[in-house]
Amino acid sequence: MKVQVHDVTEITRKLDITVPAEEVRVALEQAYYTVGTKASLKGFRPGKVPKEVLQLHYRQDAEEQAIQNLVNSSYPKALESVSISPVSYPQIAVRHFREGEDFTYEATIEIRPTIEPKGYTGLPLTKNSIEVSEKELEETLKHLQERAAQLIPVEEKRGAQEKDVVIFDYEAFHDGKPLQGTKTEGYIAEIGQKALIADFEKGLIGIMAGEKRPIDVTYPGDWTDKNTAGKTVRYEVTLKELKSKKLPDLNDDFAKDLGSFNNLQELKDKVKAQMGEEKEIREKNHLARQVVEKLQEKNQITVPQGMIEMELDLMFRQWLASIRAENQFTQEQIHAAQEEFFKKNEEEAKLRVIGGLLFDGISKKEGIAVTLEEVEKRIEELATRSGQPFETLKKQYQEKNLYPGIEASLREEKTLDFVLSKAKIKMSK
């Protein structure tokens, strides 16, 4: 196999790949055999059709299959032979294919840009306070009370109102016809939490237990579910139960019920400490974003589209996993949501890629490295958080080849710490 590399742009390479005629012959033989096992021709049993007859009827199918197999087998070897690691799927263009002759094709790919970072010391940054105010603590404790609230059936004869919990059945209709897959029983929602689209939530106000009520919802044109986008849908709703929330008193008994706390003060101290840690993490992320935005101005970087798409895919999968536990989606809904997500988050994904490239360049320039001990210490921390034995998790990471990912994450963290140590940070007012 012969491979020639052509520089198209700073981040684009074109590979001219030539596959020997003998490999073409073998690939075609295999393709005709596979096609022959499925071919249905009058006068011949499956798998017994002569090659000459197959060539008359299935030449295109066999050649397409042979080309696909040859590309799949030769492309990785071609990359390895010229030591190129692409960051995008290849664009393949067949140049010449004929039985008995060499097969030639082009593969156009994107590669990581070479970064020579500059201007990363003395960056002017602003930092917010990580102190937890009494008001913030009170709000968090209020949320804990809400989570521990009892649901009490509403005895008085009244309709649903703000903060009530409603349990209802519903089915959606458009133009008088039911929408497939929308019939739902025992749906639970709290009015005022904005978990439902505004028209629907507004329509629930005043509904009484046992009442059947139509609620019309007009969806915006850019709604993620294309089946309802831009349409007015009628929901036939039956309220099964109406409940109000009774919050527990904020006292020592409440603290004891939540866990290993002897009194309310211990709970407050623990909650405040956790809030401080969360603020510190958020503030570190805020500083990191400032760093990337300021370095982007100082360093002109051509970002491969393939890297942006991979980051978008990762972001979407993380977002989908975070909401999937409480929601069921069809493949069509997931596809529609993905399209919308990609449109809205492309710039964010690009910024993340730029940050990764810059931190990688800085770490190389400054000789910032991560040891095996540091990687395994991080795995030990993850094991402690998840309640798994360290050796068990360590073995899983080794078997799944996850050490490089941990190493890259730690190196980026250390690089950010280095840049922050050289920055001019002011507390915001």
Q: Do residues 27 and 69 make contact, with C-beta atoms less than 8 angstroms apart?
A: yes
**Nearest alpha carbon to residue 419 among 121, 115, 127, 125:** 121
pLDDT at 403 over 70: yes
pLDDT at residue 51 greater than cutoff 90: no
Instruction: Give the Cα separation of 412 and 410 in Å (integer).
Output: 5
Predicted structure pTM score? 0.74
Q: Which two tokens stand for residue 93?
A: 């263009």
Angle at 360 between CA 354 and CA 362, to 5 degrees: 100
CATH code for 150-246?
3.10.50.40
Residue ranges, CATH 3.10.50.40, the chain: 150-246
* pLDDT level of residue 169 (50, 70, 90 thresholds): very high
What is the arithmetic mean of pLDDT over 378-392? 94
Closest by CA to 29, choosing from 70, 1, 72, is 70
- Mean pLDDT in residue range 132-144: 95
Structure-model confidence comparison of residues 324 and 175, the more confident one: 175
pLDDT at 333: 78
The CATH number corresponding to 2-110 among 3.80.10.10, 3.30.70.1050, 3.60.21.10, 3.30.43.10 equals 3.30.70.1050
Place of tokens 């051509």: 302
CATH 1.10.3120.10 in the chain is located at: 265-427
Nearest-angstrom CA–CA distance, 406 and 44: 58
What pLDDT is attached to residue 428? 85
Which of the pair, 52 or 418, is modelled with greater confidence? 418
Q: Considering the chain, what is the average pLDDT of its residues? A: 92
Determine the Cα–Cα distance for residues 155 and 241; give it in Å rounded to an integer: 11
Beta strands 124-127 and 424-427 are parallel
Name the CATH architecture for the domain at 265-427. Answer: Orthogonal Bundle (1.10)
As separate numbers, helices (DSSP H) first and strands (DSSP E) second, the chain gives 11, 12
**Numbered ranges of CATH 3.30.70.1050 in the chain:** 2-110
Would you state the structure tokens that stand for residue 116, as one six-digit string?
A: 């020579």
Name the residue with tokens 């509403």: 154
Cα separation, 402 vs 341, in Å, equals 27
Query: Residues of the chain with pLDDT > 70: what percent?
Result: 96
204-262, pLDDT tens digit by residue?
999 999 999 999 999 998 887 778 889 999 999 999 999 999 999 999 999 999 888 99
Which of 207, 259, 257 minimizes the C-alpha distance to 236?
207
